[in-house]
């Protein structure tokens, strides 16, 4: 596959199919579906779907019902962001609230039930210059397809501090539901002011002895119902108008001991002891720069034609948080997955494929 040079202009950048530090074991594990055990033979699909969040599973369900025999590649984080969410209260059909992993298990089971083939692999290389499109998995398996739906979602946004990178996994995390258990009965800190930060703080308040929420402004952006719950929590302290400037700790063994905060108004710096720092400042699309040219917005979300999921490459569609920089909700991602499957079906019909 001849690589296409990465674009460098703001309006046209290259999209990278994320390889999230996959282990060979995980990349080769199979999921549901009749084709999953054959890891050597190239696999061709009329519709190939990348991503296993609400957008990917919805696309798989609709494509399967249209008899397109879709193949879904789950990626490293099977189930997407909802796998790290506790109560999902704003997705229709679940009363009382459902846990995020349970909701994704139901979507996954439904996709398999209607005939989608689900494979656990990670795409590390792609050639979309000719059809059929060619993609290569982490273990070297070749996938080809007539139409491609990209639903790779979003990933946590980090502060960008060298010390944050140093202590990541040793006191610094971006997932309370993943790592909160390790801080049971201890003091932790959350940085951020939106829904993500408040949800993380509330979750941790049931595990940790104390939670400190640090926000660089004097008001929160989170939904009012979440703010009300936050203010009612007895063991959550809010530090307004401060930003995190450094994570500090021990080198042997590597562990976080405190966080350095700076007052955004006065510039005063102080150290706050804590055992864990949870970064919750939102998410960014799971994109980067490699050999595949797709139009992107300046904020690196995939660009689609208005009212559709069509990218600039005919036969390639984008759905969910990888393309949606406005709503970014599970329910809208599912809707966009449906749209992508319908757009792909119509495009294939027009091509006579």
Contact 279, 165 (CB under 8 A): no
Nearest to 178 by CA among 233, 105, 91, 100: 100
Q: Which of 38, 178, 218, 271 is catalytic?
A: 178
Sequence length of the chain is 353
Residue 84 CB neighbours (<10 A): 19
Q: For residue 179, indicate whether it is catalytic.
A: yes
Q: Which of 127, 175, 289, 325 is catalytic?
A: 175
Helices 224-232 and 195-205 sit at what angle, rounded to 10 degrees? 30
> What residues contact residue 350 under an 8 Å CB cut-off, 6+ apart?
none
Contact 176, 81 (CB under 8 A): no
Report angle CA 75, 196, 180 to the nearest 5 degrees. Answer: 75
Q: For residue 178, indicate whether it is catalytic.
A: yes
Nearest to 153 by CA among 80, 70, 47, 76: 80
**Residue 182: DSSP 8-state:** G
Mind giving me the DSSP string for 13-81? EEE-----S--HHHHH---SSTTTT--SS-EEEEEEEE--SHHHHHHHHHHHHTT---EEE--SSTTGG
Q: For residue 289, indicate whether it is catalytic.
A: no
Longest Cα–Cα distance in the chain: 66
Contact 275, 187 (CB under 8 A): yes
Contact 6, 12 (CB under 8 A): no
Residue 89 CB neighbours (<10 A): 11
Q: Which of 121, 138, 179, 324 is catalytic?
A: 179
Any idea which residues carry the catalytic annotation?
A: 175, 178-179
């Amino acid at each position: 596959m001849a690589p296409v040079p990465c674009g460098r202009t703001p309006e046209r950048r290259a999209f990278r199919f994320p390889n999230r530090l996959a282990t060979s074991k995980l990349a080769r594990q199979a999921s549901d579906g009749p084709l999953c055990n054959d890891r050597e033979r190239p696999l061709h699909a009329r519709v190939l779907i990348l991503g296993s969040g609400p957008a990917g599973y919805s696309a798989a369900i609709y494509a399967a019902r249209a008899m397109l025999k879709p193949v879904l590649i789950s990626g490293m984080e099977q189930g997407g962001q909802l796998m790290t969410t506790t109560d999902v209260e704003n997705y229709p059909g679940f009363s009382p609230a459902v846990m995020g992993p349970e909701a994704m298990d139901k979507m996954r089971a439904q996709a398999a039930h209607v005939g989608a083939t689900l494979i656990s692999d990670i795409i590390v290389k792609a050639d979309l210059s000719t059809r059929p499109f060619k993609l290569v998995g982490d273990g070297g398996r070749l996938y080809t397809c007539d139409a491609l739906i990209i639903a790779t979602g979003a990933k946590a946004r980090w502060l960008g501090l060298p010390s944050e990178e140093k202590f990541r996994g040793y006191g610094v995390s971006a997932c309370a539901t993943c790592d909160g258990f390790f801080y049971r009965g201890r003091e932790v800190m959350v940085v951020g002011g939106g829904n993500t930060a408040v949800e993380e703080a509330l979750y941790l308040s049931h595990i940790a002895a104390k939670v400190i929420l640090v926000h660089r402004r004097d008001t929160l952006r989170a939904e009012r119902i979440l703010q009300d719950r936050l203010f009612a929590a007895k063991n959550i302290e809010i530090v307004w108008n401060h930003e995190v400037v450094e994570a500090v700790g021990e080198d042997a063994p590597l562990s976080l001991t405190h966080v350095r905060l700076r007052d955004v108004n006065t510039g005063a710096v102080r150290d706050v002891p804590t055992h864990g720092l949870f970064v919750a400042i939102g998410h960014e699309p799971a994109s980067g720069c490699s050999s595949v040219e797709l139009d992107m917005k300046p904020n690196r979300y995939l660009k689609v034609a208005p009212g559709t999921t069509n990218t600039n490459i005919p036969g390639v569609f984008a759905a969910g948080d990888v393309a949606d920089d406005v709503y970014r909700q599970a329910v809208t991602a599912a809707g966009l997955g449906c749209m992508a499957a319908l757009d792909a079906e119509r495009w294939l019909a027009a091509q006579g494929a």
